[in-house]
Structure formats: C-alpha cells, structure tokens
Amino acid sequence: MFNWFRQAGIAVAVTIAVSVVSDPQVVLANPGLPVNMDVHNITELPVTMSEQGGKLMLSDSPEMVPADGIMYQDTVMGDVRLFFHHVNATKELKKVVVLLVNESRTAIDVVVNQYGLGGPSLDYLAVGKLAQLNYLNQQEVELIEVPAKGTALLEPVLNETVVAPDALVNGIYDFQTKQPLKVVVMMLPVDTDPAEFIKNAKVLPADSQRLRGTFPGRDRLIVPSQVYNSSRDGVMGITLADHKLDTFVAGIDATDGSPTLNYGNYGVLYRVFLPTAFEQKYAVYLNPRGGEYAGGLKVKYRRQEEAAVGTPADKLFFGSKTVTDMAHLGDFAGGQSLWLTFSPPGASNLPVKLILAPVTK
C-alpha cells in the first residue's frame, strides 16, 4: 500500500458526498502554511491512547492479486470492521467480492451500520480517498440475512462490478453478528457464482508486505493529557500511525495462524478529542509526513452535526513534494467541544501529524 505510482483514469462505482461545516467559526479553505511554523521541530502534545471495541479484519495481501482465489478469510463474531484493498493484477476482467458463509443450522442476521466503497479505478489515491469519504458520510443501517448452511454477499454491487486489469477496489465495512460467521474476500471470474466458486477456492499466498490478518481493537481513542492553550503552548502536534508514538496493531493471519502487523494501521478508526483553553482561538491542520496522501477526516465542533472534510479539500492529494504540505481543518474557539475522526486511507503513505497552532490573522 506504500508508494503507489498514480495512474490516470477514474471509473468509480459509487459517488462522493462531502458535507461542509456550517458553523461560521470553522474555515475549511486551506490558507497555506501558518506564519513562523517550523514543521520539522514541532513539540508533541502528550496524549493518552486506548484501544476500543471489536475486531478489525484487514485484507490487503496479496495486494496485487495474481490469480483467482481467496485473499483473506476468518470466522468472526461481535463488532467487526472489514478493510479490503486489492488490485486485479491479471490480464483478464475479474470481480472482487466479500462472501458471508453461515456454517450453522440457523440463519444469521448481520447488521451493517457503516460502510464505504471506492473503485474500481486505475487512480489508486482517488479510490482510497473515495472509500474513506463515503465511509465517513454514510449513516444508513442495513440488515443482511445469511441462511442456515448458506451464503450471502456483504456488498451485492460488487458481484455486478467488473474490475479491469490493474484496477483497485477498496472497501470499509462495519458490521455486527451475534453468531460465528465466516467472512471471505476473494477474486473470481466475472461470470462465476461466488457461492459455487468458494467450494473449490484456495487461499492465495500472502505477498512480502503480509498486510492481512484479524486484529483486536478496531478503534483508538486519543485524549491529550493537558489542555491546549494556543497563546501559551504555541504550535503542537499529535503524530498518528508512525509505530513509535502510535504503534501499529498486532494480530493473527487466520489463514495460517502466523502473527502479523498492520503496517500503517489501515482500517483503524481514531477518535481524537481536543480539550482547549477558553478565549484562545486556534487552528488545526493535517500534515502528511510519509509522502503522497489523499483521505478524509470528520469534524464535530460544539456538539453539532459532523462533517467529512477532504484532506486535502481543494485537490486529490498532497505530500509528494514537501513535508510542509497541510490541510487546514478549521479555526476554532477555545473551550468548545471538538472531536476529529481519522483513519489511514488506502493507497496513502503514513504517518501523519495533527497540528494545533495559534490563529495567525
């Protein structure tokens, strides 16, 4: 998932829906680099990080899928998030589907409470950004019944979606099941029935990155251990997904039982609360630190309706030329409730840094 070469051409199966914060104190335009900010030497804001809720299934290996087969599968129960990210690396038209398999003698109800889909497309950064924005904006709940000793598709549209050679599909799905359920991510010919294909399908070997597995703690709560005061503290940052200050989650590859590490924490959802001093206005930025980056982030200010913001909002991606690139998430009044929801987007490079700074105008 690192250092993708971007290719032209976009043919996505779903559409972006981006809302805008209505509060007049929130400015979503990108005003550029704040005055007197040295991004190479930013003091880290001390935070407490805690893992929360459910399991994460990551299916990103083999990322470049060389043949028909199963990329990842596991039997799960409870609150689950599935993050899949695969490229058709064959010379033929294919489809990538997620099949739910019920091996019990009673039907299973699966509640899908949040999801986002991007692709298929040859523009990998666009696919990752689209999937994340769709996920952050989606609010509908869906119910899937998986019959006893039967199967169902997690996303029926994928069974009708043709994935051209070299095209990427990226999906993020949160669902709940009260009974054990096998979840299978696979690539197969476009005219093949997934329920028949799985009967003889083999698990494909992982690639060198080995980005697949089932991980505990699909969410992370981040709360600073001090109140930020812009006039006193100046510029401060919170680093995410660097495996130093914010470690990568460890899990198990259920296809062979081997330990695995989620390099980049793809699929992990971060909820960041920012306590700030009253009467001290401040700005918040997202700063990519690892290279090309295209994603989204949700802002909830003064307990008002949340809004998903493109990072960056004014173009597809940034971060390829300089670590000084920033997405301006808004100017905010101190002492007011502010929550940021972030997740590493597919095809983008990490880490990133959230930067808090005094308002310069």
Domain ranges of the chain: 43-53+217-358, 55-215
pLDDT of residue 12: 36
The 3-state DSSP class for residue 127 equals helix
Report, as an integer, the average pLDDT of 229-241: 94
The yes-or-no verdict on residue 71 having pLDDT over 70 is: yes
> What is the pLDDT, as a whole number, of residue 21?
29
Q: How confident is the model at residue 36 (pLDDT cuts 50, 70, 90)?
A: low
Predicted local confidence at residue 53, as pLDDT = 83
Higher pLDDT, 70 or 7: 70
Residues 299-303, mean pLDDT to the nearest whole number: 92
Give the angle subtended at the CA of 51 by the CAs of 50 and 53, to the nearest 5°: 135
How confident is the model over 91-147, as pLDDT tens digits? 999 999 999 999 999 999 999 999 999 999 999 999 999 999 999 998 889 999 999
Report pLDDT digits (tens) over 145-158: 999 999 999 999 99
Q: Is pLDDT of 22 > 80?
A: no
pLDDT the model gives residue 291: 92
Spatial separation of the C-alpha atoms in residues 212 and 100, rounded to whole Å: 18
Token pair recorded at residue 248 = 């990568």
pLDDT of amino acid 309: 92
Torsion of CA 343, 348, 349, 351, to 10 degrees: -20
Global pTM reads 0.90
- What is the chain's mean pLDDT, rounded? 89
Domain 43-53+217-358 -> CATH class:
mainly beta
For residue range 329-354, list pLDDT tens digits in order. 999 999 999 999 999 999 999 999 99
Q: How far apart are CA 286 and CA 325, in angstroms?
A: 9
Looking at residue 349, its pLDDT comes to 94
pLDDT at 297: 96
pLDDT of residue 40: 81
pLDDT of residue 16: 30
Write the pLDDT tens digit of every residue in 259-272. 999 999 999 999 99
pLDDT in tens, 178-194: 999 999 999 999 999 99
d(CA 307, CA 217): 25
Band of pLDDT at residue 306, cut at 50, 70 and 90 = confident
Per-residue pLDDT at 35: 53
Predicted local distance difference test score (pLDDT) of residue 34: 57
Supply the pLDDT for residue 162. Answer: 98
pLDDT the model gives residue 28: 36
C-beta of residue 314 within 8 angstroms of C-beta of residue 267 = no
Distance between CA atoms of residues 318 and 36, nearest Å: 21
What average pLDDT score do residues 300-315 get? 89
Structure tokens belonging to residue 143? 């119910």
169-178 per-position pLDDT tens digit: 999 999 999 9
Radius of gyration over every alpha carbon of the chain, rounded to an integer in angstroms: 21
> Region 247-269: what's the mean pLDDT?
97
User: How far is residue 58's CA from residue 242's CA, in Å, rounded to a whole number?
Assistant: 18
